[in-house]
């Protein structure tokens, strides 16, 4: 296309896609068949990866970017946006993902970090990035590096919502407190959060993050989706929770319905019936590797 004044990769264009994903469910898929099931169920986007977090946790070893061939297969199978994960700090993996036209790059703690001090400089990319965060300081540091979307990390691959709730409450609670703070207190907040002062001031003024906040890590049921939406998440990522359950298609559809109708318990009751067994969850005390502790 040869339009004269056509600007790509702008801040608005990159941040805009996250606005389009609000109120929806982004589902982890490992092949084209699962991607089609997810799209049939009403997923707003799919996250293409070789192993869902529950399997990464079980198998151990180094988890890396997925095979580009497999990501391309998934891109060709669906019309919704396709996301894929790069390791924290692994900008070369991110370059590969951008070059094959992935719609969103997740710089993810679910994969083994490649750099112990630096996240990717996401401003250098035309593709938008999503990053995880456990608290507001972490979220604002990721935004200062160019993230266009934040997801609370939760604890991926556990089917246990408790960590997602902790992280959401921490992020949104501090946003509430900062919006009540006076201008002098914001300097101290910036120091405590180890976040850039201008971003802290922006949060104080607007009462919200500069980019959307979604929830990930542990969602396994329609009621889980409603819980985190009511707490203030604007959309949900479901990883192992769908394809590690007994009957993925109806569960996926039920979670989509629940995310839209999160305020209506009667609809939640209707869609939660006869879904079969959810994924088997894991108690936090029994896990060795906390994925949420990766990244800083």
Partner 1 sequence: MKVGVLALQGAFGLHVKALERLGIDAIEVRSLDNFDASEALIIPGGESTTMSFLLESSGIFDSLRERSAEGMPILGTCAGMILLSSKITDGRSDQKPLNLMSVEIRRNGYGRQIDSFESDLSIEGFDASFRGIFIRAPLVESVGEEVEVLAEVNGRPVMCRQGSIIATSFHPELADDDRIHAEFLEMVSSS
Angstrom distance (rounded) from CA 36 to CA 33: 5
Minimum Å distance from CB 228 to partner 1? 16
186 binds partner 1 (CB under 8 A): no
Nearer to partner 1, 204 or 261 (CB): 261
Segment 20 to 39, residues that bind partner 1, using CB under 8 A: 20-24, 39
Query: What tokens does 167 get?
Result: 């992280």
> Which of the stretches 6-14, 66-74, 173-181, 285-293 binds partner 1 when contact is defined by CB under 8 A?
6-14
88: Cβ contacts below 8 Å, ≥ 6 apart:
107, 108, 109, 111, 113, 114, 115, 119, 120, 294, 295
261 binds partner 1 (CB under 8 A): yes
Q: Which backbone phi and psi does 28 adopt, to 5 degrees? A: -70, 130
256 binds partner 1 (CB under 8 A): yes
Neighbour tally for 259: CB within 10 Å: 26
Strand ranges (E), 73-176 = 82-87, 104-108, 129-133, 149-152
Segment 96 to 115, residues that bind partner 1, using CB under 8 A: 98, 101, 103-104
Please, which residues bridge with residue 149 across strands? 130
Catalytic residue status for 85: yes
5 binds partner 1 (CB under 8 A): yes
> Which of 14, 75, 85, 244 is an active site residue?
85
CA trace torsion 173, 207, 218, 113 (10° rounding) = -100
Q: Which residues are catalytic?
A: 85
Positions that interact with partner 1 (CB under 8 A): 1-3, 5-10, 12-13, 16-17, 19-24, 39, 42-45, 79-81, 98, 101, 103-104, 126-128, 234, 256-257, 259-261, 263-264
């Amino acid at each position: 296309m040869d339009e004269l004044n056509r600007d790509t990769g702008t801040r608005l264009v990159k941040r805009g896609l996250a606005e389009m994903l609000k109120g929806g469910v982004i589902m982890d898929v490992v092949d084209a068949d699962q991607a089609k099931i997810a799209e049939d169920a009403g997923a707003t986007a799919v996250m293409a990866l070789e192993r869902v977090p529950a399997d990464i946790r079980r198998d151990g070893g180094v988890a890396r970017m997925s095979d580009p061939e497999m990501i391309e297969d998934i891109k060709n199978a669906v019309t919704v946006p396709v996301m894929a994960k790069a390791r924290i700090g692994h900008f070369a993996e991110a370059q590969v993902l951008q070059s094959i036209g992935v719609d969103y790059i997740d710089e993810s703690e679910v994969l083994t970090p490649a750099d112990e001090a630096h996240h990717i400089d996401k401003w250098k990319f035309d593709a938008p990035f999503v990053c995880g965060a456990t608290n507001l300081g972490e979220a604002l540091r990721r935004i200062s590096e160019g993230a266009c979307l934040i997801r609370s990390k939760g604890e991926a691959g556990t089917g246990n919502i408790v960590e997602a709730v902790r992280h959401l409450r921490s992020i949104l609670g501090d946003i509430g407190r900062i919006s009540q703070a006076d201008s002098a207190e914001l300097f101290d907040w910036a120091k405590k959060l180890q976040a850039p002062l201008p971003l802290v001031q922006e949060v104080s003024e607007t009462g919200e993050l500069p980019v959307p906040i979604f929830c990930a890590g542990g969602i396994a049921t329609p009621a889980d989706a409603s819980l985190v939406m009511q707490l203030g998440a604007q959309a949900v990522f479901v990883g192992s929770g769908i394809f590690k359950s007994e009957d993925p298609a109806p569960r996926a559809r039920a979670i989509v319905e629940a995310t839209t109708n999160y305020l209506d318990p009667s609809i939640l009751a209707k869609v939660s019936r006869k879904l079969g067994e959810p994924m088997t969850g894991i108690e936090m005390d029994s896990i060795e590797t906390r994925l949420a502790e990766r990244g800083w």
